[in-house]
Structure 1
Amino acid sequence: MAKAPKQEYKSPHLQRFKYTQDQAIEKQFNWKQMGRMLQYVKPYSKRLLPAAIIAMLVSTIVRLIVPVLIGKVAIDLAIKGEDPNLLIQLVVGISILYVLSFVGNTLRIRWVNILGQNVIYDLRKHLFSHVQRLSHKFFDNRSAGSILVRIMNDINSLQELFTNGIINLLMDVVTLIGIIVILLVLSPKLALAIMIILPIMFFISTKLRRNIRRSWQDVRIQQSRLNSHLNESIQGIRITQSFSQENENTEYFDGVNSDNFESWRNATKKSAMFRPFVEMSNAVGTVILISYGAFLIINGQITVGTFVTFSTFLGMFWEPISRLGQMYNQLLMAMAASERIFEFLDEEPNVEERKDAIELKDMKGHIDFDHVRFSYDEDRVALHDISLEIKQGQTVALVGHTGSGKSTIANLISRFYDPTNGSVKIDGHDLRDVKLNSVRQQISVVLQDTFIFSGTIMENIRFGRPDATDEEVIESAKVVGADDFIQRLANGYETEVEERGNILSAGERQLLSFARALLADPKILILDEATSSIDTETEVKIQEALNRLLKGRTAIIIAHRLSTIRDSDNIIVLEHGRILEQGNHSELMELKGEYFDLVKTQFQMLDAM
């Protein structure tokens, strides 16, 4: 196989693809972790697993009995004693045993595949459900591609282990033990002579374990990086093409692809050492059998039938050992994958729900920030000692330069993060004392970067409230002015929007997100730069709809377009995580401070256009 050329990362700006969170996990190989994986087999241990084991035992016992019958009965008794009737009976008996073995193997393969697919289904479902419950901080530090690799590729790596590996392991162990017992019974001297190679084989194989395991871990890491780059490249293809960066992107992909190729080549090269080593051991065992076995026959210590039985079992003896070597490689791959899976499963949400958390029913929407300090990490303080009150039904606008802390305040209200110090309260309840779902089900958020799911227009709007009727969905769309463009689509509300709503304009996607949020009938509505993708004419329509909609609801509006927040009850001006000014539009304009400067600058920019 030709070696792929090694590519270097020549472009400095492409270093952004080097993910630091997806590193090798250095843990000792232990059976405790294997036991943890096998917990997913437990639900099927009463029916499928015992049935598969019984079927395996039937076929294995037949394999062990037949060589003994051929050597000790066919050769030593029937042929040597010239007894054709015994030979005929033996042929019929062996035929029946092989039919029994065929049935056992068929059932074993069927049942273990059903068992394995169920285990993989449960594990993937568990991992996906767990990842969905993790806090925003978890996703801040990881690319979508690396998460995708763990849910798909790493779990797929366990498929062979659960569908065939476990039962095959048991079958090979039973076969090996059975052969050893039979050989020791037939001739202890010859059996011990053949098995003298086993300690040497065990010693050398243990030396290879750490290197093989680490190399398969590296394969997983390189696959994760490759998937991360692919995910980002495909999503950013329009930007890549607009800047004519296809060649640089391809050059970087060659480098990542080459690393992936090298990791696989290295892992398979080390794993491939097992098979030749077993073959060499088999050759040594054959030499011992022929030389020492012939000596024992000449001296009358064993019969020809015993020698033939030994010869048959010798091939069978090294076969399970060889498969156990391959199984060990498979186990190492599965262990490397499971470590990465359990790393995610062991991840605890940063925003935890207390066991005694209360249900916040019938939220009023009164919000208090009490000396709140928040930092995303030790070196990045986003909010400094923020204290503010947002009364029920008020519309409050947050303004300020990028990085001033506006979105952080919105995230704390939805409890996507917990404050580092101080407390955030709704209706007098500290959010840390309230059940998460009871808070978030009564808050709707519309983001600047709206996300539209694959499916129909109707399904996307209904995402805000799955039990809503078609009439309620349509009414929500009418309120925000989305009904007009929806009706112009070929299939109206049943139009498929494709991945990320590609058939819709940015403004249309934003209108859908408005309808989705409003359908949820929230007590608190957060608009985070929600009108940035909408043209001025559409913005006027939305503003009229919002004026009707926001009555009786608490609203937090984050906007750079200051024209959209003039009618807000309170405008809070933020700078570097601190409150500089607050008041309504008229009060802040009279103050002639930071807000006055922002408004003046924005109008000057509009006049210059």
Structure 2
Amino acid sequence: MSQDNKNHKAEHRQPGRGPGFGPHGMGMPVQKAKDFKGTLKRLITYLIPYKGQLIAVFITAIISTVFSIVSPKIMGKATTKLFEGLMMKLKGVPGAKIDFDYIGNIILLLIGLYLLSAAFAYVQQYIMAGVAQKTVYNLRKEVEEKLNRLPLKYFDARTHGEILSRAVNDVDNISTTLQQSLTQLITSVVTLIGVIVMMLSISPLMTLIVVVTLPLSFIATASIAKKSQRYFKGQQKTLGQLNGHVEEMYTGHKIIKVFGREKKSIEEFEEINEKLYDAGWKAQFVSGMIMPIMSFINNIGYVLVSVAGGILVTKKAIEIGDIQAFIQYARQFSQPITQTAQIANVIQSTIASAERVFEILDESEEVLETASPKVITAPKGDVEFKHVSFGYKEDDLLIEDMNISVKPGQKIAIVGPTGAGKTTLINLLMRFYEINSGQILIDEIDTREMRRADLRGLFGMVLQDTWLFNSTIRDNIAYGREGATEEEIITAAQAANADHFIRTLPEGYDTILNEEASNISQGQKQLLTIARAILANPPMLILDEATSSVDTRTEVQIQKAMDHLMHGRTSFVIAHRLSTIRDADLILVMNHGKVIEKGNHQELLKQGGFYADLYNSQFTGGGIKNAG
């Protein structure tokens, strides 16, 4: 596995680690979009249908924040009244007392304000949750529909992890940002503006002191964040190496033991783990310095504010409660700035995620279906390739001027070395790829004049790589035909020689196959896929070395079932073991994308050409004579 792949896999195994600030993310490298403005504009178009709700969110966020901002100043009035009453009593003023009724009214007013602030915040979150989930629902739907329209070459060119990361992790990242960061951004901006206004209304001088200390915090934070980002990059890179190494060691556990490489594997792990410890320690230590330094600078600011406030109180320029309110505002002042910076990073990452999702949506789709598709109502199974040319790249043709004629009911075997074009031929037949030129006809109808679903419905496929899903054995077989009865499912299983082993399982046909169906053997998996194909009862068949994973005895039994299934049907068999296709009506020998020999088994052996050489490489001379 290449190092890039290891890092790539590690990236997808950490979807929850978002960029941010401090020990909570400050200094973490942020993924940036290539076209920030363009992607942002496009993402906003998904929010336009909900502009009414978004305006409501904006208004409720402002009201909620305003109520919470004015509260400290009102609380300051209660402190002032308490201080004034206490001072008058200490001075011995006749009839002096603390006005608890006034203070009580202030407390009730504050409770009311806090309740209103919480209520509006609740409404804001409720509306925004709906907007975010509807937006992401539509985006997910678009991605799902797009994936269904993408050609096979898109999936062949990318890892499953990359596609899943874009369709799941990146969309989730957008969802989280819309629901949380957007409302936080509105609240932070309103809080910042509101706090500045309230501080200025109390004392412009003390406001200046707070503002002057702010650049010191920024300079200290920026210099530390820059340094810690380098360590965080190193940490992520090493973590990718470690994850890749562990995955390789566990997936290849048996091979490591067979070749006695346990010690080497452990040494490699310890070396990478040591690097990760070193990078992680430095990253966390350096980023951890940010909060103490910010606290130190802020505390100096509070001391200066307190001293200035004390002087102003003695001069009766402001009241004692105003100092209390101002210190609360000063504490609130840095919070929205930090939050805004955090959100800016999150939005950067989100736009990068949106860009990755939009890249899927902008991919070239399959050629559009014909406006007036033709339907084969009674398929005979006549297949013809006429002057077909195809290449995975426009300037590099794999198949040139291919001509094949297959009669209804014939069994066609396709043989040849690895990379000869056998599977490509099947992909073209099923229209997983579009041909560059020529025609592929089924019952004299060009496959491009048919709907892809109708075309693929004519074929049943049994591949070398089995595919079963996490459900019962019954459901997996029934996948071959919608609405199949219990009797039909059992009959198909019997024909595929699967009924016996199914009944030996504790739950029989109700046995749940786990993920990757690892609770049954590879051969048993293949039997179930064959039973599925038998149940589908298609007009034509494609078999890609369908018996390669079963033992010799089972292979003979399956071969009989397959012969019964193929009787009267046009069948295409990709074969690597030539013993399985000796009875084929026509054998196509492929090499470098060309059909270099045609004929039945006997004719090709007599020619003494490429097929004969392939056959001789698998069997002894006596075997050839007996076979012939």
What TM-score do you get using the length of structure 1 for normalisation?
0.79
Does the aligned pair in 1 maintain the 2:385–2:403 contact within 8 Å? yes
Aligned CA distance change for structure 1 residues 50 and 484 (closer, same or farther; 3 Å): farther
Q: 1:480 aligns with which of 480, 484, 496?
A: 496
Following superposition, the deviation at residue 516 of structure 1 comes to: 1.6
Aligned to 2:70: 65
Output one character per residue of 1:405-458: Cα deviation in whole Å (capped at 9) or x when no partner: 111211222222333554544445554554333322332221112223222111
Letter in 1 for 2:72: P
CA shift for structure 1 position 557: 0.6
Q: Distance in 2 between matches of 1:560 and 1:85?
A: 95
1:399 aligns with 2:407: no
SS in 2 for 1:326: helix
Match of 1:505 in 2: 521
Q: Is the 8 A contact 1:395 1:569 kept in 2?
A: yes
Match of 1:415 in 2: 431
Query: In structure 2, how many angstroms separate the alpha carbons of the residues matched to 1:175 and 1:110?
Result: 20
- In structure 1, the residue corresponding to 2:590 is in which secondary structure? strand
Distance 2:281 2:137 in 1: 30
Give the equivalent residue in structure 2 for 1:313: 329
Paired residues of 2:468 and 2:476 also in contact (CA < 8 A): yes
The one of 596, 618, 621 equivalent to 1:602 is 618
Q: Residues 338 and 50 of structure 1: is their aligned pair in 2 closer, same or farther, counting only changes over 3 Å?
A: same
Q: Closer, same or farther in 2 for the Cα pair 1:76/1:53, shift >3 Å?
A: same
Q: How far apart in 1 are the matches of 2:158 and 2:51? A: 36
CA change 1:220–1:330 in 2 (3 A) is farther
Instruction: Please state if 1:529 is matched with 2:539.
Output: no
User: Measured at CA, do residues 34 and 192 of structure 1 come closer, stay the same or move farther in structure 2, by a change above 3 Å?
Assistant: farther
Shift of 1:473: 2.2
Q: Distance in 1 between the 2:358 and 2:167 partners?
A: 11
Preserved CA contact (<8 Å) 1:146 1:225: no
Equivalent residues in 2 for 1:417-456, closer than 5 Å: 417-432=433-448, 434-456=450-472
Could you tell me which amino acid in structure 2 is paired with residue 390 of structure 1?
V
AA paired with 2:70? I
- In structure 2, C-alpha distance between the alignment counterparts of 1:586 and 1:460, rounded to whole Å: 39
Query: Aligned to 2:111, which of 86, 90, 95?
Result: 95
Instruction: List aligned pairs for 1:78-477, cutoff 5 A.
Output: 79=84, 83-104=99-120, 127=143, 130-131=146-147, 134-150=150-166, 154=170, 157=173, 160-188=176-204, 190-192=206-208, 194-196=210-212, 234-248=250-264, 275=291, 278-279=294-295, 282-283=298-299, 285-286=301-302, 289-290=305-306, 292-293=308-309, 297=313, 301-335=317-351, 337-349=353-365, 351-354=366-369, 356=371, 358=373, 360-362=375-377, 364-376=380-392, 382-432=398-448, 434-477=450-493
Deviation of the 1:322 alpha carbon: 2.6
Structure 1 residue 527, shift from structure 2 partner: 0.7
Aligned residue in 2 for 1:30: 36
Paired with 2:139 and 2:285, the residues of 1 have a C-alpha distance of 30
Give the Cα separation in 2 of the matches to 1:69 and 1:173: 22
With normalisation by structure 2, the TM-score equals 0.77
Q: Structure 1, residues 543-565: CA drift from partner, whole Å, max 9, x if none?
A: 33333322443211111222322
**Percent of paired sites with the same residue:** 35
- Per the alignment, in what secondary structure is the counterpart of residue 620 of structure 2? helix
Closer, same or farther: CA 198–21 of 1 in aligned 2, 3 Å: same
Q: Name the structure 2 match of 1:3.
A: none
Amino acid paired to 2:498 = A
Structure exhibiting the larger radius of gyration computed from Cα positions: 2
2:104 and 2:563 map into 1 onto residues whose CA distance is 97
On the 8 A contact 2:7/2:244 being kept in 1, the answer is: no
Which AA in structure 2 matches 1:415?
R
Match of 1:7 in 2: none
1:590 positional shift: 3.4
2:619 counterpart SS class: helix
Deviation, structure 1 residue 121: 6.8
Instruction: Quote the Cα distance in structure 1 between the aligned partners of 2:255 and 2:42.
Output: 44
Asked if structure 1 preserves the Cα contact closer than 8 Å seen for 2:460 and 2:540, the reply is yes
1:467 to partner: Cα distance = 3.5
Separation (CA, whole Å) in 2 of partners of 1:268 and 1:360: 65
**Aligned residues: CA RMSD:** 4.5
- Letter of the 2:335 counterpart: E
Cα distance in 2 between the residues matched to 1:190 and 1:105: 30
Match of 1:9 in 2: none
Shift of 1:273: 7.2
Contact 2:584–2:600 (CA under 8 A) maintained in structure 1: yes
For structure 2, list consecutive stretches of 5 or more residues without a partner in the other structure: 12-29, 89-97
- Residue 326 of structure 1 aligns with an amino acid whose one-letter code is Q
**Residues 370 and 448 in structure 2, CA contact (< 8 A), matched pair in contact too:** no
Q: 2:577 aligns with which of 555, 561, 564?
A: 561
Alpha-carbon separation, structure 2, partners of 1:281 and 1:398: 77
Q: Find the counterpart in structure 1 of residue 594 from structure 2.
A: 578
SS of the counterpart of 1:91? Answer: helix
